Every structure is written in C-alpha cells, then in structure tokens.
Amino acid sequence: MLKAVSKHIYIPLREKLAGHSTIKRLTELEKTQWMSPEQLRELQAERLRALVEHAYHSVPYYHRAFEERGLEPEDIRTTEDLKKLPILTREDRRNNFSDLIARNYSPKQMRLTSTSGSTGEPLSSYHPRDIGWTWGALWRGMRWYGVDMGDKYASIFRAHPTATTMIARLRLRLGQMLIRQISHTAFEMTPEGIEHFVRWLRKFKPRYIAGLPSALYLLSGYIVKQGISDIKPKVVITTAEKLYDYQKEAIRQAFGCDVFEYYGGDEVGSIAYECPEHNGLHITAENVVIEIAKDGKNVPPGELGAVLATDLHNYAMPFIRYQNGDVGILSDKICPCGRGLPLMESVEGRIGDIIVTENGFLPPIMNDIFRDTHAKQFQVIQESKQLIRIKVIKGEGYSQKDTDYIVGILSRYLGERVKIELEFVDTIPLTPSGKYMIVISKVPVQF
C-alpha cells in the first residue's frame, strides 16, 4: 500500500510540481536500451550535432574554441569528430565560468550546483532545471536490479542535505518517509554510528541498500562479526568510489545478495551502470558520450586513460569533452544481456589515486597489495617521487610481518630509492564530501 502511494501518487506529484520529466524519460530510455549499437551511435550523433550547434551560437567559450580551430558546427557530425574540439578541464571551467553559460538560457531554466570534489575545492556549474534525463537513466539502471520507485531503501553517502531550521528538518524527514528512505552518512561510520544504523536496518528492512563502497565495507564487517543475519536486501548498489573485489565479496557475505556498481558525477550524472551479467558498465549512450584519452589523444578499448564526458542534454552550461578527474577503460565487448549500450570495462578511480614513478605511473593496485595483510584500513600518500607515507589502522593479527610485506612489495614496484614510511593511526579522515581516499598523490600525472 505504502509503495503504491509513493510510486503512483507522491513521486509523480513531486515530479510535476518540480517540472521534471523523469517518468517520461524513463519510458523512453527503457525502449532505446534495446536498440542496436549502430542505432544508438546514430542517436548519439544526432543529439551531439544539436548540442554543438547550440554551443557554437549560444555559448561564448565554445564559439571561440570553434573559431580558433577554424571549425564550423557542420564539422562535428559524429562522436569521432569530437577529437577536433579541445578538452575541457576543471581549470578551464574556473577561468571561463561566465562564458560557459548559454546566453539564451534564463535563470528560471537553470539550477546552480556546487561540488567540493575530492580535494575539497568548491566548483559550481549550471544544469537544466529539468533533471528527467539523469533520473530516468538512474531508475532504468535500478530496474535492472529488480528495484523500483517506492521500494524501501537505505543509503550511506556523504553529508545529509543542509537543514538548518525546524521546518526544513521536518520537510526533509517527511520527504524521506514519503519516498521510503532512511539515510546515514559516511561521517557517521564510527562503531557507535554503525551500531545505531544497523538497528535502523533491522527494523526498516530495506529492499535495497545503496552507498559508498568504503562505508558499506565497514558496515559489512560489523554485520559479519556480530553474526547478524536478518538484514536481507534484494541487492546492494555502490557508487562514487571504485568498488574493489574484496569489498564486493565482504558485502555479499554480509547481506547474502548480489552487488552492483554504477558510475556518475556531479557535473555529468548517470554515466554508466553494471547489468546483471557483470560484464562491465553500460554507458548511458542516450545521455552522454564517453572518451578515454592519454596525452590529449584518445586511446582504444582496453587501455587506461582519463575519462572525457560529453553531456548531450545540458544546454545551460554545456560540458563537451569534460575531463572529470577519473580514469577508466573502455570495452569493445558485446554484452550477452542484449542491450546495445556500449560498455566501460571499469572505472579505476581518480587521477589523484595514481602513484607517479620515475618511469611512468603505477595503476591503482594498492587494494590488491593490502588485501593480503591484516591492515583494517590504510591510506597511501605520495609526497614526491622519492617519498611515500602510509597511514595504517591495524586490524586483528597485524604484526611486523605485515609491515615487512607492505614495504617489500612497494619497494619492488617503486624501486629501492623510494623511501616508504608507515604511520599507525586510529582513524583516517574522509574528504569534505564524505569519501575515503585510498591514495593521495601530490605528484601531477598527465593523461
């Protein structure tokens, strides 16, 4: 009864009042996912041509970019032609903020968002007020996992939305009740906070749980250690951080269900979703074009590089070839699920997660190294090419053998000239957005 009220009354009413087209877009996206890869590429190209035409005529930054390269909108016909345009970096956004806003968009048509990113540095962007394409893609992915609008769910993400007044707090609480949600934050994953959240979960019995892999991993460890067996969601969904195999296995063990990941961002949302075949992440090709680049040039499927995202529906502040700070790998596989949506093999983390060496860089392998130790949690900080500091929270059974193993294997990868210092701590701080950073490299890496 409550699910029906939430799904068929409250959510559609909220959508209508907000001017969102989520349900309409969801219906469309559930059809287009079954198009052939060729049909989807043509759909992408059609939407790209429309976006480029708009950007050229209405966005000063892109008009200059075209003129500087002697290009016309007609020169960008397919996604392959995107490489003719410059990569948009965070610094470009900051330095050209006003010139990236479409001149033919009014404030009523836009919403301003702000993100701190992994570094805590604020950076704002404009998006269309209608978030239908983003949320439609989100719910399409959720339906792949057998969950839907109105299902009870629990989440562990970053800080709660700001609610400073009594009315604001009541409104927030009422909204969560109507969409049948309970939430926790990554900042509350202390032993006391986990115990409190577990009591909520046992009473609430969510159909699914979503959150940060690092937070869900801590939650899973507590559940297994306490022998708790009555929290049985249909599925657990992770996002915002890379999901490592050891985390996935721990979450499966704790909840007895399958685990999936999806990939999105603050600037370009709902990018890719893992389907039940576990064959990579399907790119939301109707909404976004994804390229992988190294040294400013696109690399083929199977190679690691910087993620470049083009949002096909943000006409308020177009993001074309936006380097969002993540690194990933494209796939040329055809998924047996039958969807024509292209695949990403994986998202390997952020550029800052990569250790820079004298001869290049070390891919994100730190979890593989520490998995074979008794470290409960760790953080690797690269101060320079010659100095690595590691914060370690000792787990049960940690000994000098673990320290020797960590130093030995890292020395083998990085070279004997690199100094490795271990510091044993009780806690490892989260970023301002509530994420747990496995690696912090202060040495620039160029992709």
CATH number at residue 411: 3.30.300
pLDDT at residue 205 is higher than 90: yes
Reported as a single tens digit per residue, the pLDDT across 367-376 is 667 877 888 8
Reported as a single tens digit per residue, the pLDDT across 62-83 is 999 999 999 999 999 999 999 9
The whole-number average pLDDT for the span 85-95 is: 93
CATH of residue 316's domain is 3.40.50.12780
For residue 117, the model assigns a pLDDT of 47
Q: Is the dihedral of CA 322, 328, 330, 335 positive or negative?
A: negative
Shared-domain flag, residues 292 and 373: no
For residue 217, the model assigns a pLDDT of 87
Distance CA 423, CA 396 (A): 17
Distances (CA, A) of 64 to 49, 56, 99, 316: 18, 8, 10, 17
Helix (H, G, I), strand (E, B) or coil at 46: helix
2 within domain boundaries: no
More confident residue, 33 or 407: 33
pLDDT at residue 160 is higher than 50: no
Q: How far is CA 39 from the centre of its chain?
A: 27
Shared-domain flag, residues 361 and 348: no
For residue 412, the model assigns a pLDDT of 81
The whole-number average pLDDT for the span 398-408 is: 92
The residue out of 332, 352, 372 marking a domain boundary is 352
Is residue 316 within 8 Å of 287, Cβ to Cβ?
no
pLDDT at residue 213 is higher than 50: yes
For residue 432, the model assigns a pLDDT of 67
Residue 84 CB contacts under 8 Å (≥ 6 apart), including other chains = 69, 71, 75, 76
287 within domain boundaries: yes
pLDDT at residue 180 is higher than 90: no
For residue 163, the model assigns a pLDDT of 45
pLDDT at residue 379 is higher than 80: yes
For residue 357, the model assigns a pLDDT of 78
pLDDT at residue 179 is higher than 80: no
The whole-number average pLDDT for the span 216-244 is: 92
For residue 172, the model assigns a pLDDT of 57
Exposure string of 205-243, with b = 16+ CB inside 10 Å and e = fewer, is: ebbbbbbbbbbbbbbbbbbeeeeeeebebebbbbbbbbb
For residue 393, the model assigns a pLDDT of 92
8 within domain boundaries: no
Among 286, 309, 328, 291, residue whose Cα is nearest residue 80: 291
Angle at 83 between CA 46 and CA 327, to 5 degrees: 105
Is residue 281 within 8 Å of 273, Cβ to Cβ?
yes
18 within domain boundaries: no
Exposure string of 406-426, with b = 16+ CB inside 10 Å and e = fewer, is: beebbeeebeeebebeeeeee
Confidence of residue 107 (pLDDT cuts 50, 70, 90): confident
Distance CA 395, CA 20 (A): 47
Shared-domain flag, residues 90 and 178: no
The whole-number average pLDDT for the span 248-268 is: 93
330 within domain boundaries: yes
Shared-domain flag, residues 366 and 344: no
Shared-domain flag, residues 307 and 201: no
For residue 20, the model assigns a pLDDT of 84
Confidence of residue 295 (pLDDT cuts 50, 70, 90): confident
pLDDT at residue 13 is higher than 50: yes
Shared-domain flag, residues 147 and 240: yes
**Burial tier of 201 (Cβ tally within 10 Å: 0-12, 13-18, 19+):** buried
435 within domain boundaries: yes
Shared-domain flag, residues 147 and 259: yes
Confidence of residue 108 (pLDDT cuts 50, 70, 90): confident
The residue out of 300, 324, 352 marking a domain boundary is 352
Confidence of residue 119 (pLDDT cuts 50, 70, 90): very low
Distance CA 122, CA 57 (A): 29
Q: Give the DSSP letter of residue 364.
A: S
* Among the ranges given (94-98, 208-212, 241-245, 336-340), the one the predictor scored with the smallest mean pLDDT: 241-245
Shared-domain flag, residues 103 and 144: no
Reported as a single tens digit per residue, the pLDDT across 306-322 is 999 999 999 999 999 99
Shared-domain flag, residues 192 and 48: no
Shared-domain flag, residues 123 and 139: no
DSSP bridge pairs for 127: 111
Confidence of residue 325 (pLDDT cuts 50, 70, 90): confident
Shared-domain flag, residues 319 and 338: yes
For residue 7, the model assigns a pLDDT of 67
The residue out of 232, 247, 263 marking a domain boundary is 263
For residue 168, the model assigns a pLDDT of 55
16 within domain boundaries: no
For residue 387, the model assigns a pLDDT of 93
Shared-domain flag, residues 345 and 378: no
Look up the domain containing 368 and give its range: 354-441
pLDDT at residue 351 is higher than 90: no
Give how many domains the chain has, as a whole number: 3
The pTM score is 0.82
Average predicted confidence (pLDDT) for the chain: 87
For residue 413, the model assigns a pLDDT of 79
For residue 18, the model assigns a pLDDT of 74
115 within domain boundaries: yes
pLDDT at residue 355 is higher than 50: yes
